[in-house]
Structure 1
Amino acid sequence: MTTTTEAAPQAATDPAGVPARPAGLPGEILHWIGGEAVPSADGRVLDVADPVSNTAYATLAAGGAADVDRAVAAARAAFPAWSALGNRERATLLNRIADAVEAREEELAAFESFDTGLPITQARGQARRAAENFRYFADVVVALGEEAFRVGAQQLNYVVRTPVGVAGLITPWNTPFMLESWKLAPAIASGCTLVLKPAEWTPLSASLWPSILADAGLPAGVVNIVHGLGPEAGQALVDHPEVPILSFTGSTATGRHIVRCSADRLKTVSMELGGKSPVVVFADADVEAALDSVVFGVFSLNGERCTAGSRVLVERPLYEEFTRRLAERAERVRVGLPGDPATEVGALVHPVHYRRVLDYVEAGKSEARLVAGGGRPAHLPEGNYLQPTVFADVPREARIFQEEIFGPVVAVAPFDDEQEAIDLANATAYGLAAYVWTSDLKRGHRVAHAVESGMVWINSHNVRDLRTPFGGVKASGLGREGGAHSIDFYTESKIVHVMLGDVHTPRFGADEQH
């Protein structure tokens, strides 16, 4: 497959007010099965629209059970040769993929920004992170060792890793290319073959994977892509009897459904689900650093991020000042066309999601005090735009305190002491991330240990080393991926016991019975 012509960075808009189409934009997006671009077996398609004009720019193959069957068959056919390949050879291919991703950073960023509404400067960062994922897992599999245990002089026990088989990967619409790379890289590094089902709202950057992977020399059938709706293509992948392992990133409701469907076949699942992450700001915190972190953490990526610090809990002596300054910053955040390098918040991904976020804003107006945003910016009369929104004095029972909004909306509430801060932080069903700001590191550690979340940052925004485990507790997910945890997920461990000395087994039945 030939490489798509590299695109120039996305222009802001054409004279008609519609966002400029990136160079090389496809008119149709097909499945990629067994190394070939193919339509759906039944010929069905979906329209895909950009979030600035909400106008269809391409058709998307709408996959179903027949397409998933074909993709799984291709993955199974490719599995023996791919799983038998040495780790060094697989790592070489992973590095080639990283090279190909980096070479097309501007094209990827332009596609991602156009398709998702993500500001172009932030889309560029996602492309770089995607390449880093492949380089990292190339290093991991080359350095990977296997455990051995000597039992005195009598026995040696050693562990052998084998790839699980065909993996099913289901990815979300927020930062889609990077999150696809996060699953693709460890799966193929581990020796699995796979079927990827990208989000139907944002399939554009996924359409670049076939040429990237083929140009890097990945054998046909190792990666297969089936597009379509979750209840159709996604459900067929979840239910397929020859897909023993599923990695899903998305909503908690969908995650619960997938776990229920997987139970009968006892499939191995990894679920990275929703979040309602607290930011705990004590009065002794570095206020400037905490404020910068809060603004960036909840408004970057358009607020459409699972680890967003969307509940800000501030110790009462600092509460009024911090809330006022947060509101001032939110009003000054630059909302604009995704392709404009000055834009800090772009268009929300889809009209359905946009309406959902606006519904939460309306609910918040009756639950708390609106101190910033809450509506469409005056200079953007069309498109899925919302001025970053801040609610103050939010009670813990409020919907905007309890439920994931997944947009540029933040709830702020006061606390009086450390225990109340912990209680408020833990007062939701979610437990993905948390952030603690204090000059007292002893207190920082105490709070970090007491907060019910899979990840905590102390005096830091969301900066994560790829070696660390990623995942949540409670309604935020099951299992961990990242670093060696990803390799553990995509491989089976077999223990082999070898007797080195004489065998002394009790001899049942050896004596003659009278």
Structure 2
Amino acid sequence: MNRFPPAAMHIAGAWRTAERTFAVHNPADGTRLADLPVARPEDLDLALASAGEGFQVWRRTQPWERSRILRGIADRIRAQAERFALVMTLDQGKPLAQAEGEVLATADQFDWYADEARRVYGRTVEARDPGTRILVRREPVGPVAAFAAWNFPALLPARKIAPALAAGCSVVVMAPAEAPLSALLIAEFAEQAGLPAGVLNVVTGDGPEISRHLIGSDVIRKVSLTGSVPVGAELLRLAADGIKSVSMELGGHAPVLVFADADPVRAARLCARAKFRNAGQVCISPSRFLVHEQIAAAFTEAFAEETRGLRVGDGRDPATDVGPLTTARRLEAVHALVEDAVARGAEVLAGGAPCDLPGGHYYRPTVLGGVSDDMRVMAEEPFGPIAPIGTFSTFDEAIGRANATPYGLAGFVFTDDLTTAFRATEELETGMVGVNELAIATAEAPFGGVKQSGFGREGGSEGLDDYTVAKYVNLRLRSA
């Protein structure tokens, strides 16, 4: 078996190449992994036509059959988890153990929605007179254009593909150019599981050109994006022209509030491990640490100590804790944030510079002390291995500073006091909150944000809602 999926797009149930290609490189050492096609307008038109035809087949496929196929995709992902994880590590850079975790979480998405496919419930409503029946049906919204970021190159597409297929929709996925191979593997497994041709299409190439073409088509009824706020704003503008349904999971800048009653050493060690997962390239990564002044010294010391013990290197090495950043742009952006913070008075307690490793985009896991809210790292999503630590003195100060950004994806709280936990979870302006827990993403719970972090939810029973529409039927019975 070839380790990589075919170096082609998956359209209308077949693998399709193009004369123009782009190179996919390993971010750990720069080696060339594959040359993938740049989709032409005629390729995109074929994908759209295929999705339109596939939708007519799939929407009429009985839910139990849809469930069986979704379960088959999950089974195939798990059966080839080792292969899938290695491809992901080579393509995106994260350590192999983290890649394996993402692969299994991807399978969980298809497993969960295999069950939800059989639970797309409507309802009956009691009418005002005995001769009327009122019904509400949940029907698939139609063909979906799905766009996902590169930081979780399998899980993010799966969060769109699985609920869309469960609802009865067809999908055209744009694989992220920075790490496209995982999305193509999902297409490979879906084909093996018996998904009808045209129901799932995966295209590769120029992101802006593909998004304009797909969203501008009358075939597409729904747009779903996981990406940055600027990209989200652009896709919203494109979708507005066609009055298309949209779901957006955008950027985050998650605050971590560590209250005085928390164990500072335990909290610090958990936070350090979570912060540098996937080299900090996680939309819900804990990224602003606000610690009560009474325990700040102990927390900061333990955090820096844990960070200094992390090993940076190629994700294929089992000893690696932190892999390379996926792109050179991220390396430059991360270092610029650190330089800005230092220039404004922050103290580097660990890291603070690129790693002296050949070939890859490596940055040392960095801890900054003495940060203030006027530093860029406290206002801009860092999306990299930087942990800025500040202090607070009162509950109201902590909440106010946590909410003082346009982002609202996730927030985290460390406390042993139930009152503090409830008050904080209720007052944080985020779509998700973890209390004494940082690993909060799971297939059975809704994932999404508020404010500029977007709208709509992925995961849980709520994740199906965005791929269905409510049809109201008013039926007058014939007079007896």
TM, length-normalised to structure 1? 0.90
Q: Which runs of 5+ in 2 are unaligned?
A: none
Tell me the equivalent position of 2:469: 492
CA distance in 2, matches of 1:434, 1:34: 41
AA paired with 2:116?
A: V
Answering whether residue 12 of structure 2 is matched by residue 34 of structure 1, we say: yes
Matches for 1:240-259 after TM superposition, within 5 Å: 240-259=217-236
Tell me the equivalent position of 1:454: 431
AA paired with 1:171?
A: A
8 Å CA contact 1:119–1:301 kept in 2: the answer is yes
Matches for 1:325-474 after TM superposition, within 5 Å: 325-367=302-344, 368-378=346-356, 380-474=357-451
Q: In 2 relative to 1, CA 211–480 (structure 1 residues): closer, same or farther, beyond 3 Å?
A: closer
Answering whether residue 116 of structure 2 is matched by residue 140 of structure 1, we say: yes
Tell me the equivalent position of 1:101: 77
8 Å CA contact 2:255–2:287 kept in 1: the answer is yes
Decide which moves more: 364-373 or 129-138.
364-373
CA-to-aligned-CA distance 1:415-435 (integer Å, 9 cap, x gap): 010000001101111110000
CA distance in 2, matches of 1:320, 1:210: 50
Match for 2:55 among 69, 79, 82?
A: 79
Matches for 1:37-436 after TM superposition, within 5 Å: 37-40=15-18, 43-151=19-127, 154=130, 155-367=132-344, 368-378=346-356, 380-436=357-413
CA distance in 2, matches of 1:277, 1:466: 20
Answering whether residue 446 of structure 2 is matched by residue 476 of structure 1, we say: no
Count how many residue pairs are aligned between Structure 1 and Structure 2.
478
How far 1:69 sits from its partner (Å)? Answer: 1.2
How far 1:342 sits from its partner (Å)? Answer: 1.6
CA distance in 2, matches of 1:257, 1:166: 20
8 Å CA contact 1:167–1:243 kept in 2: the answer is yes
CA distance in 2, matches of 1:372, 1:239: 48
How far 1:501 sits from its partner (Å)? Answer: 9.2
Task: Determine helix, strand or coil for the equivalent of 2:459.
Answer: coil
AA paired with 1:88?
A: W
CA distance in 1, matches of 2:176, 2:31: 18
Task: Determine helix, strand or coil for the equivalent of 1:280.
Answer: strand
CA distance in 2, matches of 1:339, 1:237: 36
Decide which moves more: 458-467 or 164-173.
458-467
Q: Which runs of 5+ in 1 are unaligned?
A: 6-23, 504-514
CA distance in 2, matches of 1:297, 1:428: 21
Q: In 2 relative to 1, CA 284–82 (structure 1 residues): closer, same or farther, beyond 3 Å?
A: same
AA paired with 1:117?
A: G
CA distance in 2, matches of 1:265, 1:190: 22
How far 1:124 sits from its partner (Å)? Answer: 0.4
Task: Determine helix, strand or coil for the equivalent of 1:176.
Answer: coil
CA distance in 2, matches of 1:269, 1:103: 34
CA-to-aligned-CA distance 1:160-218 (integer Å, 9 cap, x gap): 11111110001110110121111111111111111000100101222323321121111
AA paired with 2:9?
A: H
AA paired with 1:469?
A: P
CA distance in 1, matches of 2:102, 2:386: 22
8 Å CA contact 2:411–2:430 kept in 1: the answer is yes
CA distance in 1, matches of 2:469, 2:120: 14
User: Which contiguous aligned blocks of 4+ residues in structure 1 show a shift greater than 6 angstroms?
Assistant: none
8 Å CA contact 2:257–2:289 kept in 1: the answer is yes
AA paired with 1:29?
A: A
CA distance in 2, matches of 1:283, 1:64: 58
CA-to-aligned-CA distance 1:331-390 (integer Å, 9 cap, x gap): 111111110112110011011222222222222221322111111335x24411111101
CA-to-aligned-CA distance 1:470-498 (integer Å, 9 cap, x gap): 11111111222222222211111101123
Task: Determine helix, strand or coil for the equivalent of 1:202.
Answer: coil
AA paired with 2:14?
A: E
CA distance in 1, matches of 2:298, 2:96: 32
8 Å CA contact 1:278–1:433 kept in 2: the answer is yes
CA distance in 2, matches of 1:346, 1:261: 35
Task: Determine helix, strand or coil for the equivalent of 2:68.
Answer: helix
AA paired with 1:200?
A: A
How far 1:106 sits from its partner (Å)? Answer: 0.4
CA-to-aligned-CA distance 1:421-480 (integer Å, 9 cap, x gap): 001101111110000111111111111111111111112112234232211111111222
How far 1:56 sits from its partner (Å)? Answer: 2.4
AA paired with 2:280?
A: G
Task: Determine helix, strand or coil for the equivalent of 2:295.
Answer: helix
AA paired with 1:77?
A: E
8 Å CA contact 1:72–1:194 kept in 2: the answer is no
AA paired with 2:210?
A: A
Task: Determine helix, strand or coil for the equivalent of 2:424.
Answer: helix
8 Å CA contact 1:54–1:350 kept in 2: the answer is no
Q: In 2 relative to 1, CA 336–426 (structure 1 residues): closer, same or farther, beyond 3 Å?
A: same
AA paired with 1:72?
A: L
How far 1:500 sits from its partner (Å)? Answer: 5.7
8 Å CA contact 1:54–1:351 kept in 2: the answer is no
